[in-house]
Amino acid sequence: MIDEQIFVQLVKIGLILQECCSNLAVIQSPHCFLHRFNHQLAHYAIRVASQIQNPNLFIYNAFIRGCSTSENPENSFHYYIKALRFGLLPDNITHPFLVKACAQLENEPMGMHGHGQAIKHGFEQDFYVQNSLVHMYATVGDINAARSVFQRMCRFDVVSWTCMIAGYHRCGDAESARELFDRMPERNLVTWSTMISGYAHKNCFEKAVEMFEALQAEGLVANEAVIVDVISSCAHLGALAMGEKAHEYVIRNNLSLNLILGTAVVGMYARCGNIEKAVKVFEQLREKDVLCWTALIAGLAMHGYAEKPLWYFSQMEKKGFVPRDITFTAVLTACSRAGMVERGLEIFESMKRDHGVEPRLEHYGCMVDPLGRAGKLGEAEKFVLEMPVKPNSPIWGALLGACWIHKNVEVGEMVGKTLLEMQPEYSGHYVLLSNICARANKWKDVTVMRQMMKDRGVRKPTGYSLIEIDGKVHEFTIGDKIHPEIEKIERMWEDIILPKIKLAGYVGNTAETMFDIDEEEKEGALHRHSEKLAIAYIIKIWPPTPIRIVKNLRVCEDCHTATKLISMVFQVELIVRDRNRFHHFKEGTRSCMDYW
DNA sequence: GTAGGGTTAG
């Protein structure tokens, strides 16, 4: 029989070891060994515990605490119930961890159970219990319950406010979060981090970056957790200069480029168009895991590479990392972008067979697209109709895109009709369908589509392009009339660029603009597409190499051809990011092989 | 004893 004091020491050591292992498990490979070790350790501790004749509350609290942050937080309840059965009364330490376990599980009914237990044992007024409850309700998204606990509290600290702020962000109420943030008397890094991640996770990337700047203005130094969201926001914005600045901040402040931050930096460089730097950072990372590899593979795919992402995928597997569903999304995208239909199908089939990963909607989407692009419309259609999951609008959208590329009006009309029913508010479907009709000279249908959009109040979003010059972002919109230098830009296009690229074989393609404007304006309007304006502007002044442009919509066929010719005639490298991917233009070649 | 971090088809 083991002495209780010795056991207490054992549990302490065990818990510390367990925490160390869970950290180690993240940074080292192969993972399976450490997981097994972890499991064995827990098992060992439990076996030791069962040897004790009269375990006291301290021991149970240690287990409840240990489990609350483990992979199976529900075990906290297991030990809680065991303690009760043993006739032990839980104390003020027990409840916060029991409630925390429910938050970890994101299980509100269980959390309410925990809340009930705290009331039953008279700890409802305990400050730590209250903070834990606010946290738990905020985490499960029940902001009303969180607020109700919060409002009944006698005192607050930075943790209470921060938990409430996180809760507001979680339920999409950034305004209330901001209000509380401005009002609270004390803020620390976690508070700032909660605000920044709150914005970033709700796609308010500019706000996230603004908060980071405000944090610096306060004289605070961000840590890894903060900067991760800042860098990921830069990635989403496609703001390379801003992202580079954040990366420099990491280096200057000696922040560790750990697994998570490293992944964010790799993703940022890829999404901001500097894929070479993404690869370089990736190669230099000391710690790598499957998500890190996935970020690189997805980045390479985004840039139109095919062999490279597949090579990294095989390297990843060789090193013993187990691909996850999103890894396959990235790999299949790479095949799709490169038009590697057969290779894609092979990998798609291997997902379940060799890796036990059940294909999800996005994986099917990755297959419909290349099949359609390759002209195998029948197979693509069959694929959609025979899917075990109900196809969603992006999948039908991929099929519609294929109909547009291959001028298939019959299938296009059928698919378009389905899409208009599924998403009557989305302008893209009307535009694509009308373009399909326009290509087939079915002008009556084009008019019908136009009218339908008008009747339903659907508007096509305005196309815009962004370029960063000396750290300042310049915006150009289609048919721009408000840009202070618009006249010069237009003259640049008309007098210099257009004649030069015409000599190189450029013929304006007006088919796609049918939808936007009247016949006689067609060619003129085409020249006012935002990326052409941006290029004309940047070529006018000293052009950087490469010229980087970020577009909100997809690059149209005409702009694509024009950009390709500009890169050749003016001897400049252009990197254009549209809503889907990157296009690299250098000396008249392009990375996407006209697959876009 | 209580709060914050990466990847994702079209």
- A514 shares a domain with A469: yes
Q: Closest residue by Cα to the C1' atom of nucleotide B5?
A: A225
**Residue A200 beta carbon within 7 A of nucleic strand B:** yes
Q: Which domain holds residue A528?
A: 464-590
How far is residue A126 CA from its own chain's centroid?
39
Given this model, what pLDDT does residue A434 score?
Answer: 86
Question: CA(A383)–C1'(B6) in Å?
Answer: 33
Using alpha carbons only, give the angle A498, A433, A576 rounded to the nearest 5 degrees: 40
| Dist. CA A313–CA A437, nearest whole Å | 41
Residue at which a domain ends, from A444, A460, A476: A460
Question: CA(A555)–C1'(B10) in Å?
Answer: 14
Amino acid at A191: T
Q: Is residue A399 part of a domain?
A: yes
Question: What is the SS3 assignment for A455?
Answer: helix
Sequence-separated (6 or more) residues with CB below 8 Å from residue A17: A41
Query: Minimal CA–CA distance to A326: which of A305, A299, A304?
Result: A299
Q: Is residue A139 part of a domain?
A: no
In which order are the strands placed within the sheet that holds A547-551? A472-477, A464-469, A547-551, A574-577, A582-586, A589-590
- A532 shares a domain with A482: yes
- A439 shares a domain with A404: yes
Report the CATH number that the domain containing residue A453 is assigned in CATH: 1.25.40
- A498 shares a domain with A447: no
**Residue A362 beta carbon within 7 A of nucleic strand B:** yes
Q: Is residue A396 part of a domain?
A: yes
- Name residues 577-596 of chain A with a Cβ under 7 Å from nucleic strand B: 580-581
**Residue A224 beta carbon within 7 A of nucleic strand B:** yes
**Residue A289 beta carbon within 7 A of nucleic strand B:** yes
Q: Enter the pTM of the model.
A: 0.85
- A513 shares a domain with A432: no
Q: Is residue A227 part of a domain?
A: no
**Residue A355 beta carbon within 7 A of nucleic strand B:** no
**Residue A225 beta carbon within 7 A of nucleic strand B:** yes
Residue at which a domain ends, from A403, A435, A460: A460
- A585 shares a domain with A566: yes
Q: Closest residue by Cα to the C1' atom of nucleotide B9?
A: A362
- A447 shares a domain with A471: no
Q: Is residue A476 part of a domain?
A: yes
- A370 shares a domain with A434: yes
**Residue A24 beta carbon within 7 A of nucleic strand B:** no
Given this model, what pLDDT does residue A199 score?
Answer: 97
Question: CA(A333)–C1'(B2) in Å?
Answer: 43
Closest nucleotide relative to residue A579's CA, C1' based: B10
Given this model, what pLDDT does residue A183 score?
Answer: 97
Closest nucleotide relative to residue A160's CA, C1' based: B3
**Residue A103 beta carbon within 7 A of nucleic strand B:** yes
- Distances A575 to A459, A463, A535, A545 between C-alpha atoms, Å: 28, 17, 11, 9
Number of domains comprising chain A: 2
Residue at which a domain ends, from A437, A460, A483: A460
Sequence-separated (6 or more) residues with CB below 8 Å from residue A508: A523, A526, A527, A558
Using alpha carbons only, give the angle A135, A138, A144 rounded to the nearest 5 degrees: 125
Q: Which helix (H) or strand (E) holds A576?
A: strand A574-577
Residue with token string 């192969």: A30
pLDDT tens sequence for chain A (596 residues): 444 555 555 555 555 445 444 443 333 333 333 344 455 666 676 677 667 777 899 989 998 998 998 888 999 999 999 999 999 999 999 999 999 999 999 999 999 999 999 999 999 999 999 999 999 999 999 999 999 999 999 999 999 999 999 999 999 999 999 999 999 999 999 999 999 999 999 999 999 999 999 999 999 999 999 999 999 999 998 889 999 999 999 999 999 999 999 999 999 999 999 999 999 999 999 999 999 999 999 999 999 898 999 999 999 999 999 999 999 999 999 998 888 899 999 999 999 999 999 999 999 989 998 888 888 888 888 888 888 888 999 899 988 988 888 888 888 888 898 899 998 888 888 888 888 888 888 888 888 888 888 888 888 778 888 888 876 778 888 777 778 888 888 889 889 999 999 998 888 765 554 554 433 344 456 677 888 888 989 887 767 788 889 888 888 778 888 899 999 999 899 999 988 889 888 887 765 555 55
Q: Is residue A57 part of a domain?
A: no
- A512 shares a domain with A493: yes
| Dist. CA A557–CA A579, nearest whole Å | 14
**Residue A61 beta carbon within 7 A of nucleic strand B:** no
| Residue A360 Ramachandran class (φ > 0 left, ψ -120 to 50 alpha, else beta) | beta
Given this model, what pLDDT does residue A459 score?
Answer: 83
Question: CA(A235)–C1'(B4) in Å?
Answer: 20
- A521 shares a domain with A425: no
Tokens of A10: 């054992």
CA neighbours closer than 13 Å in the CB half-sphere of residue A248:
6
- Name residues 36-55 of chain A with a Cβ under 7 Å from nucleic strand B: none
- A583 shares a domain with A470: yes
Q: Is residue A63 part of a domain?
A: no
- A570 shares a domain with A468: yes
DSSP state of A483: S
